[in-house]
Structure 1
Amino acid sequence: MYWPTTATEAIAVQEELRGLVDSAGPGPAPADIRYVAGLDVAYAGDDLAAAVVVLDAHSLVEVDRSIVLGHTAFPYVPGLFAFREIPALLDALGKLTVTPDLLVCDGQGLAHPRRFGLACHLGVLTGLPTIGVAKNAFVGTFSPPAAERGSTSDLVLEDEVVGAVVRTQEAVKPVFVSVGHRVDLATAVAHTLRLTPSYRLPETTRAADHACRAALKS
């Protein structure tokens, strides 16, 4: 697979692929998902560890994991972060013994300047239903959701709703959910709430974050 090495080339790839994003959904409902995967990458300089951890969607017990160690070949450019992470994440996905029904990315989907963040990019390349659940907003404006768990508000960019601001725990800072591929926004929010029974971030994200950080240290 060809991977761009400059920002100009990378933007051209995003422009070419974003038309392939399926955001109509609704995609698989939480009750229909058997395996759900969290993906994350940890860095130490140009060294990286990419982790994919698969959980049973109902018990949230780990059933598979894959970790790839490597080096990033693409510079840090806001809006082009996917090009640093996706090559290693694809390698990690290819080493799984269990095929996930849903990918949960620690990053953006449509909530991106070109409507093609990490979750969209990874979803288009794999063909799997994918959502983005980010810790912070990258683009757009929003009003804070109510304090109760499950409260939401719209994330708006250029008069378009590109995501949802979701309160996963009462009175805790919200997360920013956006469509990646083959899932609509309402279903992405439902998945996010299903995966956050006790903490702010999805259990998939927490597991992948721990796995890649531990691998990088070791």
Structure 2
Amino acid sequence: MQPVIHHPWTLTEQEAISLQKQLALQVKTEDQVKEVQHIAGVDVAYHVAEDVLVAGIVVLDAASLQVVESVVVSDSVAFPYIPGLFSFRELPPLMKAFEKLQTVPQLIVCDGQGIAHPRRFGLASHVGLLYDIPAIGCGKTRLLGEYAQPDSHRGACSPLLDEGEIVGAVLRTQADTKPVFVSVGHGISLPTACEWITRLAPKYRLPETTRQVDQLVNKALAGLGN
């Protein structure tokens, strides 16, 4: 898979912030999701001892939620650790993983944020816009915003608000469990994003996309340096 837009990756902090603000204006928050056969889960982790990033992609069959393809790539760090600019650090190795991917997904779920971000442009927005594929951010924790706890039943949600703007939803994927934080990445509405995350989490708190890609990346991290 190749990106449909290109921009420089060697940037200063201020240049990255400026580009982030420009790209955020291109994010679409209405549904562009069509027939979904394959869904990709993506994640990136840092190996401190080896000073490398490990990027993983797992593609699931949308109907069965079975893994049909997985790719993992380790790469050197090209951008510093700066809060709010993680996508500029994590996307270069993730793009190398996408290059190896044979199955084109119709939906991407990122272990992170979409527009629930200080400049409304987290990793899920960056990935979705870069490849022009609908994308969802599904974070284990909140990056920003305020919310009321959703009801305890599966599928319950409450709005995530930042400065009065709804930037995401706090979604209970399983009854009486901690919620996840869902936000639009690109090309999808928030209600549809919540529907998909609920569908992708039939048994566990985390969607299968996240569970499977976390396992892939953690196994790769454990193998580094051995």
Pick the TM interval, shorter chain. Answer: over 0.9
Structure 2: gaps (5+ residues): 1-6
Q: Which residue of 1 aligns with 2:196?
A: 191
Task: Please tell me the residue identity of whatever aligns with 2:74.
Answer: L
Q: Does 1:12 align with 2:15?
A: no
**Mapping for residues 26-175 of structure 1, pairs under 5 Å:** 27-28=32-33, 32-45=35-48, 46-175=51-180
Runs of 4+ aligned residues of structure 1 deviating over 3 Å after TM superposition are: none
Q: Identical aligned pairs, as a percentage? A: 50
**Is the deviation greater in 69-78 or in 160-169?**
69-78
- What are the superposed Cα offsets for residues 19-64 of structure 1, whole Å, 9 maximum, x if unpaired? 1101122x326xx311000001121122121000000011011101
Mapped contact 1:5–1:73 kept (Cα < 8 A): no
Residue 80 of structure 1: how far off its partner (Å): 0.8
CA RMSD in angstroms, aligned pairs only:
1.1
- Distance in 1 of aligned mates of 2:45 and 2:165: 32
Residue 213 of structure 1: how far off its partner (Å): 1.4
Residue 6 of structure 1: how far off its partner (Å): 2.6
Mapped contact 1:195–1:202 kept (Cα < 8 A): yes
The two structures have a TM-score, normalised by structure 1, of 0.95
Q: Which residue of 2 aligns with 1:22?
A: 28
